[in-house]
Homo-oligomer: A and B are copies of this chain.
Amino acid sequence: MTSAERPEPEAVDLGGVAGLVLDVDGTLIDSVYERTLAWKRAFATVSAHPPTWRLHRLVGRDGRAAVREIAAGLGADWSEAEVAEIRRRYEAAYAQSSATVRPLPGARDLVRALDASGRRWAIATTASRAATEDALRVLGGVRPHAVVAGDEVVRGKPDPEIVRTAAARLGLTAPEVAFVGDTVWDVMAARACGADAIGVLSGGWSREELRAAGARIAVTGVVELVTALQGTRSY
């Protein structure tokens, strides 16, 4: 058994954090692999077949930048209209497969604990508002103090706009919040505006990759944050 396959838990310290901002896909719901194959189906409709592992690594990134990155790898020269059409097909393919998507371990406990605590917390995701509302339903109809979806910002992650906007809607600055996410795009977005970054392994990135991007800590999943919250009186 390797450390990567069943990594040792790391201790989470949320002291000094005034608000918590959470990513959705790969962090609260177990949707990254369905999203990966949705990208694969979308690209196949334009006869493009990038290696699937590269699509996996684009989940959670700004959609337009993701398609441009794949185009560069393939040497494709898609127009803005074609890029928009591939993104539309990706959203449609994901919507078709999302019925099998479930909360990740601890996710419902985490959002319920946050709901009950009266603490400031927000959702910040590159996904569309519609997909985000579906995800919140999967989580049991929780009520974050703020939701920032991908179609409300000019640039998705790794641009910090989405994290900064979420912090502002909580009445906080970015350095006062901790952002929890599963991808290097999440970590980079958080670090670019001075927010604390907590990585989770539940999206399939390795601990080393998340830490190299700037995560203070990388835990196996949000289930480890539930314990940390219960042990922390204020943060």
Contacts of A69 in B (CB 8 A): 6
Report A4-37 CB contacts with B as 1/0, cut-off 8 Å: 1110000000000000000000100010111011
Number of copies: 2
Give the contact stretch, choosing among A45-53, A114-122, A126-134: A45-53
Contacts of A30 in B (CB 8 A): 51-52
CA distance A212 to B7 in the complex (A): 13
B206 touches A209 (CB 8 A): yes
A53 touches B208 (CB 8 A): no
A4 touches B57 (CB 8 A): yes
A203 at the interface (CB under 8 A from B): yes
Within 8 A of B (CB), among A193-227: 201-206, 208-209, 212-213, 221
A4 touches B212 (CB 8 A): yes
Task: Classify the secondary structure of A's interface with B.
Answer: helix
**Chain B minimum-CB-distance residue to A188:** B2
A175 at the interface (CB under 8 A from B): no
A3 at the interface (CB under 8 A from B): yes
CA distance A6 to B72 in the complex (A): 12
A77 CB, nearest partner CB in chain B, Å: 19
**Chain B minimum-CB-distance residue to A221:** B51
CA distance A40 to B102 in the complex (A): 11
A residues with a Cβ closer than 8 A to B are: 2-6, 26, 30, 32-34, 36-37, 40, 44, 49, 51-54, 56-57, 69, 100, 102, 104-105, 184, 188, 201-206, 208-209, 212-213, 221
**Among all A-B residue pairs, the 10 with the closest Cβ atoms:** A208-B208, A206-B206, A4-B209, A53-B204, A33-B52, A2-B184, A5-B57, A30-B52, A206-B209, A53-B202
Interchain residue pairs with CB less than 8 A apart (22): A2-B188, A2-B212, A3-B212, A4-B57, A4-B205, A4-B206, A5-B54, A5-B57, A33-B36, A33-B52, A33-B56, A40-B100, A51-B105, A51-B221, A52-B204, A53-B201, A53-B202, A53-B203, A56-B204, A204-B204, A205-B206, A208-B209
